Amino acid sequence: MVIQNRSSLSPPAMLTIAPIILDGPTKTYKLPIEISILLKEHQRRGISLLWNLHREGQGGVIGDETGTGKTRFICAYIFGLLHLKLIRRSLLVVPVTLVSFWKEEFSKVALTEETNDGVVITTYDTVAIDQDCQLLSMRTWDYLFIDEGHLATNDTTMRGKGLRNIPSQHRIAITATPLQKNVEELFAKIEPYLLRRKKDVVCPELSKKLDLIVWLKLTKCQQQQYKACCKQVRGSKNSLRFAALKMFQKDDGPEIFLLSSKVGSLGLTLTQADRVIVVDPDWNASTDDQSVDRAHRIGQEKQVITYRLITCGTVEETIYRKQIFKSGLLRIATGQEKPMTFFSQEDLEELFHLPSDEKWFSSSRTQKILSYEHEDDDGILKEQMKSFQKHMKRFQKHLNSFGELDCLVGLSRHSS
C-alpha cells in the first residue's frame, strides 16, 4: 500500500504547540510537549503512521523526499516508545558516515540516560561481517530501523543476508529513494506500507529551487580525447568526516564543499550552501537529486540554484536521459503524474556510440526533446525566475558569465 500526500492536503508549515497523544487498544503513545514542539505537522503525522503500524504489528518504508526531516521524527518516535517503556531495545543500522549525524539528532530530542541504553546504532559494515548474527542475534529487537534502506534490497549480498538474519518484532526502512533499479525492487521494500511525501507539499515554507541543465560542447581537442577514451574504456568510494561538515555549516566556514555524489546522497545537511554544481551525472537520478537536496531542505533560508553540467553527445547526455526515464518509473510506481516516455531501448544502446560528425558534439538531441516536451508549460521557467526577483541581479550575473563561455550550447529546465 502506498500512502501519499496530495496537494489538496496543504499541511501547515508552523509547529504545533501540543503534546502528541495517540490511543491504542491497550496502551497509549505520548510524546512530551518539549519534544513534540520540535516537530512540524507532517512529522507529527509520520509518528502517527508509525504508531498505527506498531499497533498492527506491521513494518513499512518511510520514503519521504530528501530534506523533509525524516530523521528528526523517527528519533522522536523512538524516544517516546522508550520513555513510556513500550519497548526496551531498538537497533538502528546506518552507513558509517552517518553515525555521528544520528547521535546528534538523538541528542536534540533529549534522549536521556534512562532511554539511551535502549538504542544501539551499528553500521552496514558490522552487519555484513556478522552475517550469522552472533552479536546482533543475542536478543530479539523490538525495532530494527534501516537507514538508507535502498542500500539493502539485495538479499544475496553480505549486508542483505545479515539484515535478514537479525530477529526483530518491527522493521522500518528509511529511504528517500524507494526506486533505485526497477519497480520490483520498490515493491519488495513495502512490508506492506510505503509513506511517500513530496517536499513542496509538506514544506511549503521552503524557497523554490531552480534546477538548470547547462549544456556544454567539447572542443576539437577534447573530442579526440573523448573518442580515444571511449575506445579504451570497458567499464571502470569515501568517508566524509563529520568535523568537515560541521566546519562548513558555520557562518565563517569554507565557501566551497567538494564531495562525491555517492557520499552526497547520504543523509547530510549542508544548508549553508545555496549553489549546487553537479559535475558528473550518476546512473541513478535519485543519487544526484539527494545530493542537491543536501542544500534544499528544512532549515534552508536562502534561494537554491542547481547547475547540472552535461556535455553534448557524450556518455553524460545518455546517462541524463536514463535518469529521466528512471524518474518516470518512480512516478508511475507511486501513483504520481504521468512521466515523459520518449526514451527507447535504442537510446540506451547509444551509450558508447562514436559519431564521425563533429556536429554531434555541438548540439543536444536531449535538449531539443526537453524543449518540445516543455512547450505546454514553457512558462514554468519564467515563473521560477520571478520568484528570484530579489536575487535577480546576482543570478543574472551568473547567467551572463555562462553566455561568455564558448563551450555553452544552452540551458534547460531539469526534468525530475
Helix axis angle for 365-373 and 315-333, nearest 10°, is: 30
Nearest to 213 by CA among 369, 98, 8: 369
The confidence band for 170, taking pLDDT boundaries of 50, 70 and 90, is very high
Domains and CATH numbers, the chain: 2-202 (3.40.50.10810), 209-413 (3.40.50)
Nearest to 41 by CA among 148, 201, 175, 194: 201
Output the average pLDDT for the chain.
76
Helix (H, G, I), strand (E, B) or coil at 13: coil
For residue 345, pLDDT over 90 is answered with: no
Q: State residue 11's pLDDT score.
A: 37
Q: Is 234 exposed, middle or buried (0-12, 13-18, 19+ CB in 10 A)?
A: exposed
- Across-strand partners of 122? 93
Helix axis angle for 70-83 and 99-108, nearest 10°, is: 60
Lowest mean pLDDT among 146-160, 290-304, 338-352: 338-352
Could you tell me the three cell numbers for 27? 496502551
What type of residue sits at position 337? E
Could you tell me the three cell numbers for 74? 523517527
The confidence band for 260, taking pLDDT boundaries of 50, 70 and 90, is confident
Give me the percent of the chain exceeding a pLDDT of 70. 68
The confidence band for 77, taking pLDDT boundaries of 50, 70 and 90, is very high
For residue 263, pLDDT over 70 is answered with: no
Give CA–CA dist 185/194, Å, rounded.
13
The predicted-structure confidence for 316-332, as pLDDT tens digits, reads as follows 888 888 888 777 766 66
Give CA–CA dist 65/296, Å, rounded.
11
Nearest to 35 by CA among 3, 1, 82: 82
Nearest to 321 by CA among 351, 363, 357: 351
Give CA–CA dist 328/285, Å, rounded.
10
- The helix or strand, by DSSP H or E, that contains position 399, with its residue range, turns out to be helix 392-403
The confidence band for 349, taking pLDDT boundaries of 50, 70 and 90, is low
Mean pLDDT, residues 338-354: 53
Numbers of helices and strands, H then E, in the chain: 18, 13
Please report the DSSP string for 145-182 in residue order.
Answer: EEETGGGG--TTSHHHHHHHTS-EEEEEEE-S-S-SS-
Please report the DSSP string for 71-130 in residue order.
Answer: HHHHHHHHHHHHHTTS-S-EEEEE-GGGHHHHHHHHHHTT--HHHHTTEEEEEHHHHHHT
Distances (CA, A) of 139 to 127, 134, 389, 413: 15, 10, 58, 52
Please enumerate in sequence order all residues whose Cβ is within 8 A of that of 250, keeping only pairs 6 or more positions apart, or say none: 272
Helix (H, G, I), strand (E, B) or coil at 379: helix
Give CA–CA dist 196/74, Å, rounded.
15
Please enumerate in sequence order all residues whose Cβ is within 8 A of that of 116, keeping only pairs 6 or more positions apart, or say none: none
Residues 92 and 82: beta-carbon distance below 8 Å? no
For residue 8, pLDDT over 60 is answered with: no
Q: State residue 130's pLDDT score.
A: 67
For residue 394, pLDDT over 70 is answered with: no
Mean pLDDT, residues 240-260: 80
For residue 73, pLDDT over 90 is answered with: yes
Query: Which residue did the predictor score with more confidence, 357 or 268?
Result: 268
Q: How many C-beta neighbours within 10 Å does residue 199 have?
A: 22
The predicted-structure confidence for 186-228, as pLDDT tens digits, reads as follows 555 555 688 888 888 888 888 878 888 888 888 888 888 777 7
The confidence band for 237, taking pLDDT boundaries of 50, 70 and 90, is very low
Mean pLDDT, residues 126-136: 71
CA 156 to chain centre: 24
Highest mean pLDDT: which range of 12-21, 125-134, 231-240, 306-315:
306-315
Mean pLDDT, residues 99-118: 75
For residue 149, pLDDT over 80 is answered with: yes
Please report the DSSP string for 249-295 in residue order.
Answer: TSTTS-S-----HHHHTSS---TT--EEEE-S--SSHHHHHHHHTTT
For residue 182, pLDDT over 70 is answered with: no
- End-to-end CA gap in the chain: 23
Phi, psi of 284 (to 5 degrees): -95, 115
Give CA–CA dist 277/282, Å, rounded.
13
Could you tell me the three cell numbers for 264? 552526497
Give the β-pairing of 119-123 and 90-94: parallel
For residue 142, pLDDT over 50 is answered with: yes
The predicted-structure confidence for 365-383, as pLDDT tens digits, reads as follows 777 777 666 554 445 555 5
